[in-house]
């Protein structure tokens, strides 16, 4: 069933431009592969664009797929080569995070399961047919029911039509559908909202409407709910209502250092802070809604000094917070992440909710009507229930779909054992995860870029999932599988295809026309009944009565588990690009590490790469040390994808697990582990990469020395391409880096190369510790200097300066002297030490418009010259100049906060020139007189905030 026929079914002639692209119907023709005609060298046509949805994480951003037509193994076909956010999409508005950018690596991953498999007598997997597999399943289901056992359907988060289908399936086949399993279940938030508002949901936080944002532990720009959207909205709020954003956290996170102000708070003491805020605000009656007495009297009341002592925040900071809340028109507080995933995380969440309500929560900041679609997601309690029923051998057939409990659950071995107590274990998965290893039948799933479907990230939004490429292997979508099983059971000749099922649903829901519109846009916003959240006095009172403020913060070492921006909960680890791109906070690429406070490190005499052994309840885990500034003493951090906290307490009330591992001991093993830390030093010491500080200007003699040039600057005619990077908007999410890798066919060089300092990134994020208070970033890429030191030294003119101010690199002219790279003060040139090629079938994703570099040549950023070329050709056809905003580079395109502005500096009215000439602007290492075309706007000092 290919697109064309499907569109016919929709009643649309394939002629109509479905998606705003000229190439689309050509592309449709090409979906069926055919052997190529003789002239195989001409194949770069215009790319085709499809709208679909990113399924890399539960956020479900809207994606526009760029599919290029090219010849692969002598077969001409179209291949998705780039993913970009759909502009104006209610979730991500054009942007995409690094994981989304990299998800093509999942589509073409060589380790995908390529055909259905079944375990034979001697316990080995053997390839089987779908029919056979289905038959076995049907038989076993019947048998199990016969034995009076319960069949269970255990899956990852499922939304949209698929959710409904699953219910149908479960009803049809008499299977229990279990609450879905997500590591980041946010159970405490749901529970808290249930207590305070009788709404067991996670609201949609409308940050864009806030003028003051207080995030408590919630890593809003990393993994919390939808980081892309949050980042995007924070920027909107900054522009619209000059948002000031404070972050409170017990450890240190990228989100924290990106906030305009960050407070390190003692472990577990968030609840005291929130309580204090509530009390003091109500006392100075600056609350928008005053809490009912029966509640407020239950809120502990401490003097500011006590709170200061408990939380570790200075008194003036506390006052600052108070005044912020008091003066803010639409304040917003978001608790989550490490602050709610802990012993008294529920209390924290409840107080946060109360504070939201009391400080005038309205639907335009905390929106329950468009709540995030987490209703069907269960918690650890549900998992425990499953384990119990497995213990009591009550389970017959266990379906495990799109989730990997064995990897993510505590006591994995135990769960594996329990699983054995079932008749049959059916896995629906794309990879051979540890869970799949334990199953009897493996049903390979198609990637969402190979399948039809839809998703509902939150109430009121329906995202389209449509294929951009034929399934590459004998895989099927979950929908098809369920339908086929049902059909085979009912003995129907041929099963309905999931996409027919979808059409029926869509038609019945929206009607035909609207369906087409949805396909064009890639999403549909549907009205939802408004139902304001009302404070539930009883629930809250009841909770507060026996709420425990028991857990005191202690000075013993504590291991804090943090989510990873690169791997999410670990699911994105399979994407090689996620290990290739440095972790923004530590600049580590490959391998694991433990973050140690610089103070602790100094005390213990540890340095980066020293190995330490962490003893936690019997287990001993070894990690190399990474010294982490800003991290409070005695707090150690390991990312969630590296270890699972063995047996950390689970809150019996909510089912949230704690991410703090207590009574651990950490000792050096004396070993020294090579670890690829990309950053040579975290200290910038006024070298001119960050803006020079007013008080001690390093180039004070500038004025007494007229800036001299030995020769006149050269001419630009129509264009001088330039860039302005606003480091105040930048949130360090590294999406730009990923975008650059995919757009420009950058090599994945691997750990060994990284240890030898041979990474290939053209654009990198450089963290600088500023006097131990904060970490400032700069984004380093080729500065396209007008007087580029790299150019004149090339003996063969392999690099030279284009009339448009681009510092171009002629790959096939380069002989590889590496002189240019030596002479580049920004060190942004990259040399091909070997033939770094993506192994098959990853090479399918190569962008045909950018040459793949061979060994022995230099490469570098050229402002996505291929995109410039396209725009200029277009402009030339319409004989006009390229308009401002007509082109943008891959990095700028995907930036959630539009921190990167690309354009023509010759055009005085272009956005980039305006920014470049704003009085904030500075250029990196300006005193070298290289005349860069990249202008930076520094991060606004938090002083201005206070």
Q: Map the footprint of other proteins across residues 876-895, applying CB under 8 A.
A: none
The single residue among 15, 148, 670, 706 that binds other proteins, judged by CB under 8 A, is 706
Please, which residue, 112 or 830, has the CB nearer to other proteins? 830
Distance separating alpha carbons of residues 424 and 60, to the nearest angstrom: 32
709 part of the interface to other proteins, by CB under 8 A: yes
705 part of the interface to other proteins, by CB under 8 A: yes
110 part of the interface to other proteins, by CB under 8 A: no
Please, which residue, 185 or 799, has the CB nearer to other proteins? 799
Q: How far is the CB of 693 from other proteins (least distance, A)?
A: 14
The single residue among 43, 431, 800, 922 that binds other proteins, judged by CB under 8 A, is 800
Interface of this chain with other proteins, residues 907 to 926, rule: CB under 8 A: 925
679 part of the interface to other proteins, by CB under 8 A: yes
User: Would you state the structure tokens that stand for residue 415, as one six-digit string?
Assistant: 């769960």
Interface of this chain with other proteins, residues 711 to 730, rule: CB under 8 A: 711, 713-714
* Element spanning 821, H or E: helix 819-822
Q: How far is the CB of 755 from other proteins (least distance, A)?
A: 10
Interface of this chain with other proteins, residues 585 to 604, rule: CB under 8 A: 587
375 part of the interface to other proteins, by CB under 8 A: no
583 part of the interface to other proteins, by CB under 8 A: no
Distance separating alpha carbons of residues 724 and 462, to the nearest angstrom: 35
Distance separating alpha carbons of residues 778 and 764, to the nearest angstrom: 8
Distance separating alpha carbons of residues 439 and 437, to the nearest angstrom: 6
**Bond prior to 841 in cis (omega within 30° of 0):** yes
Please, which residue, 395 or 585, has the CB nearer to other proteins? 585
Size of the site for other proteins (CB under 8 A): 80
Residues counted in the chain: 946
The single residue among 594, 627, 678, 775 that binds other proteins, judged by CB under 8 A, is 678
Please, which residue, 302 or 811, has the CB nearer to other proteins? 811
The single residue among 5, 698, 873, 946 that binds other proteins, judged by CB under 8 A, is 698
Smallest CA-to-CA distance from 410 within 595, 613, 572, 616 is with 616
Smallest CA-to-CA distance from 541 within 189, 194, 196, 190 is with 196
Q: How far is the CB of 575 from other proteins (least distance, A)?
A: 23
Q: How far is the CB of 609 from other proteins (least distance, A)?
A: 13
Interface of this chain with other proteins, residues 843 to 872, rule: CB under 8 A: 855-858
Distance separating alpha carbons of residues 654 and 339, to the nearest angstrom: 15
Distance separating alpha carbons of residues 427 and 402, to the nearest angstrom: 8
Q: How far is the CB of 676 from other proteins (least distance, A)?
A: 11
Do the Cβ atoms of 80 and 67 come closer than 8 Å? yes
686 part of the interface to other proteins, by CB under 8 A: yes
User: Would you state the structure tokens that stand for residue 694, as one six-digit string?
Assistant: 């007013």
The single residue among 39, 41, 703, 704 that binds other proteins, judged by CB under 8 A, is 704
Q: How far is the CB of 732 from other proteins (least distance, A)?
A: 14
The single residue among 609, 653, 687, 911 that binds other proteins, judged by CB under 8 A, is 687
Please, which residue, 119 or 818, has the CB nearer to other proteins? 818
Smallest CA-to-CA distance from 534 within 183, 107, 195 is with 195
The single residue among 106, 266, 830, 860 that binds other proteins, judged by CB under 8 A, is 830
832 part of the interface to other proteins, by CB under 8 A: yes
Q: Is 356 exposed, middle or buried (0-12, 13-18, 19+ CB in 10 A)?
A: buried
Select the span of 173-181, 184-192, 201-209, 682-690 touching other proteins (CB under 8 A). 682-690
Select the span of 206-214, 417-425, 589-597, 701-709 touching other proteins (CB under 8 A). 701-709
**3-state SS, residue 724:** strand
Please, which residue, 689 or 737, has the CB nearer to other proteins? 689
CA angle 503, 78, 891 (to 5 degrees): 95
561 part of the interface to other proteins, by CB under 8 A: no
Interface of this chain with other proteins, residues 744 to 773, rule: CB under 8 A: 753, 756-759, 764, 766
927 part of the interface to other proteins, by CB under 8 A: yes
Between the alpha carbon of residue 805 and those of residues 721, 779, 791, the distances in Å are 6, 20, 12
In what order do the strands lie in the sheet containing 461-465? Answer: 453-455, 461-465, 523-525
Interface of this chain with other proteins, residues 500 to 529, rule: CB under 8 A: none
Contacts of 652 (CB under 8 A, 6+ apart): 381
The single residue among 815, 840, 874, 918 that binds other proteins, judged by CB under 8 A, is 815
Select the span of 198-206, 801-809, 876-884, 887-895 touching other proteins (CB under 8 A). 801-809
Select the span of 380-388, 601-609, 654-662, 813-821 touching other proteins (CB under 8 A). 813-821
Select the span of 151-159, 396-404, 649-657, 814-822 touching other proteins (CB under 8 A). 814-822
Interface of this chain with other proteins, residues 162 to 191, rule: CB under 8 A: none
Distance separating alpha carbons of residues 349 and 359, to the nearest angstrom: 15
Q: How far is the CB of 783 from other proteins (least distance, A)?
A: 11
The single residue among 239, 835, 840, 873 that binds other proteins, judged by CB under 8 A, is 835
The single residue among 881, 929, 941, 945 that binds other proteins, judged by CB under 8 A, is 929
Could you tell me whether strands 202-205 and 176-177 are parallel, antiparallel, or unpaired per DSSP bridges? unpaired
Please, which residue, 767 or 848, has the CB nearer to other proteins? 767
Select the span of 173-181, 394-402, 421-429, 699-707 touching other proteins (CB under 8 A). 699-707
Please, which residue, 74 or 771, has the CB nearer to other proteins? 771
825 part of the interface to other proteins, by CB under 8 A: yes
689 part of the interface to other proteins, by CB under 8 A: yes
Please, which residue, 407 or 749, has the CB nearer to other proteins? 749
Distance separating alpha carbons of residues 826 and 734, to the nearest angstrom: 19
Please, which residue, 300 or 688, has the CB nearer to other proteins? 688
Smallest CA-to-CA distance from 793 within 822, 813, 760, 825 is with 822
Could you tell me whether strands 934-937 and 62-72 are parallel, antiparallel, or unpaired per DSSP bridges? unpaired
Q: How far is the CB of 791 from other proteins (least distance, A)?
A: 4
Distance of CA 313 to the CA centre of its chain: 31
811 part of the interface to other proteins, by CB under 8 A: no
Compute how many other C-beta atoms are within 10 angstroms of the C-beta atom of residue 34: 10
Smallest CA-to-CA distance from 377 within 194, 200, 572 is with 200
Please, which residue, 473 or 800, has the CB nearer to other proteins? 800
The per-residue DSSP string of 606-663 comes to --TTEEEEEEETTEEEEEEEEEETTPPTTEEEEETTT---TT--B-TTT-PBP-EE-S
Longest dimension (CA), the chain: 94
Interface of this chain with other proteins, residues 776 to 795, rule: CB under 8 A: 780, 786-795
Smallest CA-to-CA distance from 304 within 295, 292, 313 is with 313
**3-state SS, residue 120:** coil
Q: How far is the CB of 828 from other proteins (least distance, A)?
A: 8
Q: How far apart are the first and last CA of the chain?
A: 61
**Exposed e or buried b for every residue in 792-810, given b needs 16+ CB within 10 A?**
eebeeebbbbbebbbbbbe
Please, which residue, 240 or 714, has the CB nearer to other proteins? 714
């Amino acid at each position: 069933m290919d697109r064309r026929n499907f569109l016919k079914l929709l009643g649309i002639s394939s002629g109509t431009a479905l998606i705003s692209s000229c190439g689309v119907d050509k592309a449709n023709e090409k979906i069926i592969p055919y052997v190529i005609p003789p002239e195989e060298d001409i194949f770069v046509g215009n790319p085709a664009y499809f709208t679909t949805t990113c399924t890399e994480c539960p956020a479900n951003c809207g994606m526009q797929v760029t599919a290029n037509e090219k010849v692969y193994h002598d077969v001409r076909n179209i291949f998705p080569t780039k993913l970009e956010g759909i502009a104006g999409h209610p979730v991500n508005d054009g942007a995409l995070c690094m994981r989304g950018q990299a998800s093509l690596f999942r589509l073409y991953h060589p380790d995908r399961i390529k055909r259905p498999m079944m375990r034979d007598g001697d316990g080995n997997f053997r390839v089987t047919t779908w029919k056979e597999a289905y038959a076995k399943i049907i038989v076993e289901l019947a048998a199990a029911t016969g034995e009076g056992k319960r069949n269970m359907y255990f899956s990852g988060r499922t939304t949209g039509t698929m959710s409904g289908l699953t219910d149908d399936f479960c009803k049809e086949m008499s299977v229990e559908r279990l609450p879905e399993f997500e590591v980041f279940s946010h159970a405490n938030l749901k529970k808290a909202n249930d207590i305070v508002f009788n709404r067991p949901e996670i609201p949609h936080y409308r940050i864009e409407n806030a003028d003051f944002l207080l995030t408590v532990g919630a890593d809003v720009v990393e993994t919390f709910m939808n980081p892309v959207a949050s980042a995007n909205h924070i920027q909107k709020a900054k522009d619209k209502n000059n948002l000031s954003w404070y972050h409170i956290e017990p450890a240190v996170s990228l989100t924290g250092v990106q906030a305009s102000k960050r407070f390190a708070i003692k472990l577990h003491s968030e609840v005291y802070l929130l309580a204090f805020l509530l009390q003091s605000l109500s006392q100075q009656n600056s609350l928008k809604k005053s809490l009912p007495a029966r509640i407020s009297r239950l809120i502990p009341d401490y003097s500011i000094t006590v709170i200061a002592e408990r939380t570790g925040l200075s008194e003036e900071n506390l006052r600052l917070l108070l005044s912020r809340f008091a003066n803010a028109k639409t304040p917003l507080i978001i608790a989550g992440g490490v602050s709610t995933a802990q012993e008294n995380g529920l209390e924290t969440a409840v107080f946060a909710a109360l504070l939201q309500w009391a400080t005038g929560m309205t639907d335009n900041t905390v929106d329950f009507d468009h709540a995030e679609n987490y209703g069907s997601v269960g918690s650890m309690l549900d998992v425990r229930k499953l384990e119990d029923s497995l213990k009591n051998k009550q389970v017959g057939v266990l379906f495990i779909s799109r989730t990997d409990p064995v990897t993510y659950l505590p006591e994995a071995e135990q769960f594996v054992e329990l699983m054995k107590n079932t008749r049959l274990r059916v896995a629906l998965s794309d990879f051979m995860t540890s869970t799949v290893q334990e199953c009897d039948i493996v049903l390979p799933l198609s990637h969402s870029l190979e399948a039809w479907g839809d998703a509902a990230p939150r109430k009121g939004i329906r995202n389209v999932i449509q294929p951009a490429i034929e399934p590459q292997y004998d895989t099927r979508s979950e929908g098809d599988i369920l339908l086929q099983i049902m059909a085979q059971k009912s003995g129907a000749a041929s099963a309905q295809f999931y996409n027919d099922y979808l059409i029926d649903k869509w038609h019945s829901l929206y009607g035909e026309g609207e369906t087409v519109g949805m396909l064009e846009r890639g999403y549909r916003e549907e009205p939802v009944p408004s139902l304001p959240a009302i404070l539930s006095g009883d629930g809250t009172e009841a909770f507060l009565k026996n709420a425990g403020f028991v857990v005191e913060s202690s000075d013993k070492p504590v291991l804090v588990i943090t989510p990873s921006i690169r791997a999410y909960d670990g699911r994105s680890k399979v994407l090689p690009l996620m290990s290739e791109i440095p972790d923004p906070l530590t600049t580590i690429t490959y391998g694991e590490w433990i973050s140690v406070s610089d103070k602790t490190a100094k005390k213990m005499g540890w340095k980066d790469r020293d190995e330490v052994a962490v003893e936690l309840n019997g287990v001993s885990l070894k990690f190399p040390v990474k010294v982490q500034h800003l991290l409070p003493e005695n707090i150690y951090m390991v990312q969630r994808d590296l270890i699972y906290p063995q047996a950390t307490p689970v809150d019996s009330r909510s089912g949230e697990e704690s991410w703090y591992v207590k009574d651990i001991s950490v000792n050096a093993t004396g070993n020294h582990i090579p670890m690829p830390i990309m950053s040579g030093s975290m200290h910038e010491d006024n070298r001119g990469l960050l803006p020079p500080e007013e008080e001690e200007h390093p180039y004070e003699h500038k004025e007494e020395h007229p800036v001299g040039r030995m020769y006149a600057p050269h001419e630009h005619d129509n264009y001088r391409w330039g860039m302005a990077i606003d480091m105040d908007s930048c949130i360090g999410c590294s999406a730009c880096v990923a975008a650059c890798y995919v757009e420009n066919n950058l090599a994945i060089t691997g750990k060994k190369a990284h240890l030898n300092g041979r990474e290939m990134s053209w654009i990198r994020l450089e963290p600088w510790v500023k006097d131990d208070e904060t970490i400032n970033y700069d984004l380093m890429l080729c500065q396209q200097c007008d007087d580029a030191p790299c150019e004149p030294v090339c003996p063969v003119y392999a690099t030279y300066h284009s009339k448009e101010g681009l510092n171009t690199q002629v790959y096939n002219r380069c002989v590889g002297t590496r002189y240019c790279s030596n002479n580049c003060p920004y060190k942004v040139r990259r040399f091909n030490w070997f033939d770094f090629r993506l192994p098959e079938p990853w090479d399918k994703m190569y962008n045909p418009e950018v040459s793949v570099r061979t060994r022995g040549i230099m490469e570098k950023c050229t402002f996505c010259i291929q995109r410039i070329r396209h725009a200029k050709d277009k402009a030339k056809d319409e004989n006009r100049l390229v308009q401002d905003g007509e082109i943008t580079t891959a990095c700028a395109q995907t930036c959630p906060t539009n921190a990167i502005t690309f354009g023509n500096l010759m055009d005085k009215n272009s956005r980039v020139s305006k920014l470049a000439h704003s009085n904030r602007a500075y250029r990196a290492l300006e005193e070298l007189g290289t005349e860069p075309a990249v202008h930076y706007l520094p991060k606004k000092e938090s002083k201005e905030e206070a």
